[in-house]
Amino acid sequence: MTMLVSETCHFETDWATNALTGFLIYGLIVSYVPQHLRIIRAGTSVGFSPWFLLLGSTSSAAGMLNMITLQWPVIRCCREVSFGKCIEITAGVFQVGVQWLFFTIILVLYMMYYPPNLKYIQLEVDTHDSRPVQHIRTKLKSSEWRLSIIVSWAVAGHLALLIFTTFLLLLTTPPSPDPSVPHPRQITLWATFLGVSSGVLAAIQYAPQLMRTYRLKLVGALSIPMMIIQSPGGVVMAVSIAMRPGTDWTSWIMYAVSAVMQASLLLMCIIWRMRQRRLGIDDFGRPLGESAAVDQDASTEDSSQTQGEEGTVSVVVEGEDGDNAREDTPLLKPGNVVRRGGILGWIQGLRK
Compute the chain's Rg from CA coordinates.
24
CA 20 to chain centre: 24
With respect to residue 101, please indicate whether it lies within any of the assigned structural domains. Answer: yes
* Residue 237 structural domain: 35-352
CB 164 within 8 A of CB 334: no
pTM of the model: 0.68
With respect to residue 3, please indicate whether it lies within any of the assigned structural domains. Answer: no
Predicted local confidence at residue 106, as pLDDT: 94
With respect to residue 258, please indicate whether it lies within any of the assigned structural domains. Answer: yes
With respect to residue 6, please indicate whether it lies within any of the assigned structural domains. Answer: no
For residue 41, the SS3 value is: helix
Total domains present in the chain: 1
With respect to residue 11, please indicate whether it lies within any of the assigned structural domains. Answer: no
With respect to residue 241, please indicate whether it lies within any of the assigned structural domains. Answer: yes
- Per residue of the chain (352 residues), what is the pLDDT tens digit? 333 444 467 677 777 777 878 888 888 888 899 889 989 998 988 888 899 899 999 999 999 999 899 888 888 888 888 888 888 888 888 888 998 999 999 999 999 999 888 888 877 766 666 666 666 777 888 888 999 999 999 999 999 999 999 999 999 988 766 656 667 888 989 999 998 898 888 878 888 888 888 888 888 888 888 888 878 877 887 887 777 766 777 777 777 887 888 888 899 999 999 999 888 888 888 888 655 444 444 434 433 333 333 333 333 333 334 344 343 333 344 344 444 444 444 444 555 5
With respect to residue 182, please indicate whether it lies within any of the assigned structural domains. Answer: yes
d(CA 80, CA 84): 12
d(CA 4, CA 38): 51
d(CA 220, CA 95): 29
Predicted local confidence at residue 120, as pLDDT: 86
